[in-house]
Structure 1
Amino acid sequence: MTTPVPEKYDSAPKRRRNTGPKPRLSMSIYGFLVAWLVPNIVMAAIVVILNLLPISDTVGDLTPILTLVGLSGLVLGLPLALLANWLLRHQVNQAVHIMAYAIIGMFYGLTVLTAGGEGLIPLLIPLVGFPAAILMAMGRWAASSFVHVVDPEASAGTDDE
């Protein structure tokens, strides 16, 4: 009895053919400023306006929240926004990027815990996180006009001329 010759499948070469350069999103520096800096400035302005209203007599001074919002935008928001842009650069669907920025905004609420985890302070997490998520998502949506798709196949054809 003879052993049949093993069959070779050509699925591996197909995978190798599809590993060429992929299209990616490219955001200008103006787009990044609109997507990250503008929502952080708006969040700080909202806290300042709330601090100036007469409700500060009953609620108390909101200046520590202003510091938390500013530091969370700089220490947490900036690196995470840059990381999200880099990780999702080959995802050409803008809605995925908008959702990533909303998730980054949700992390802003967790910075409230740096002020201390006792008492009513943990209740401020959604009061900071949800508006930050909405503003960050709106900022990324507004920056969509500063984003363009870089197609490596189209740019490779223009280099030959």
Structure 2
Amino acid sequence: MTTPAPEKTRRRTRPPKRAHAAPRPVLRIGFTGWIVSWLIPTAVMGGLLLSLGLMPGLDEDGFLAPLIPLIGAAAVVVGIPGTLLVTWLCRHQPSPTVHILGYAVVGLLYGPVVLVAGAGGLVPMLIPLIGFPAGILLGLGRWMAQPLTRIQDTSETLETKDPEND
């Protein structure tokens, strides 16, 4: 008795890869655009806290004044690496909405930085007071920096650096 030959199953196959796939365009934001999208919203947030702290009656307990250095620390520790990471991760997404939402998420991460001051008392309640406005402001800052961005077609760059044509 012989064993039957195995039947080949019909399975899905991947489409063949093209040998010369076209490179994707890259969204570039310069140093000025990044400064507009990160520094201006952070300065506005610090100015808002400073103005709220100077208003009589709002800062009777004195919990707004110590938040200004925390916003500065959040901007340096979370904001700089976060915005640079979002810019790098989303560089192949030409849609500005993706970048704006990424910057808003980085701004939301400003909130938990207040826990450095201690997790007791009213401090955990300050997380949304810092995070939501910072998220909105960083998203608006990235939206304001949109005219300072450009979409670079990488195929043009490859054509100019082709060693066979030199």
**Identity, % of aligned pairs?**
40
What one-letter code is carried by the residue in structure 1 that aligns with 2:93?
Answer: Q
Change (3 A) 1:143 1:57: closer
Change (3 A) 1:118 1:152: same
Give the match for residue 90 of structure 1: 92
User: For residues 20-49 of structure 1, what are the alpha-carbon distances to aligned partners after superposition, in whole Å with 9 as ceiling and x for unaligned?
Assistant: 421111001110000001111111111111
The answer to whether the aligner puts 1:148 opposite 2:150 as a matched pair is yes
**Aligned match of 1:29:** 31
Corresponding residue number in structure 2 for 1:136: 138
TM-score normalised by the chain length of structure 1:
0.86
Structure 2 partner of 1:69: 71
Q: Report the residue type matching 1:92 in the other structure.
A: P
In terms of fraction of residues, the more helix-rich structure is 1
Q: Which has the larger radius of gyration?
A: 2
The 2-side partners of 1:154 and 1:133 are apart by 36
Matched, 1:13 2:12: no
Q: What residue identity is the alignment partner of 1:128? A: I
Question: How has the CA–CA distance of structure 1 residues 18 and 46 changed in structure 2, closer, same or farther, with 3 Å as cutoff?
Answer: farther
- Structure 2 Cα separation of the partners of residues 53 and 97 of structure 1: 35
Q: Which runs of 5+ in 2 are unaligned?
A: none
Structural RMSD (CA): 2.6
Q: Residues 116 and 19 from structure 1, CA distance in 2 versus in 1: closer, same or farther, beyond 3 angstroms?
A: farther
Aligned length: 159
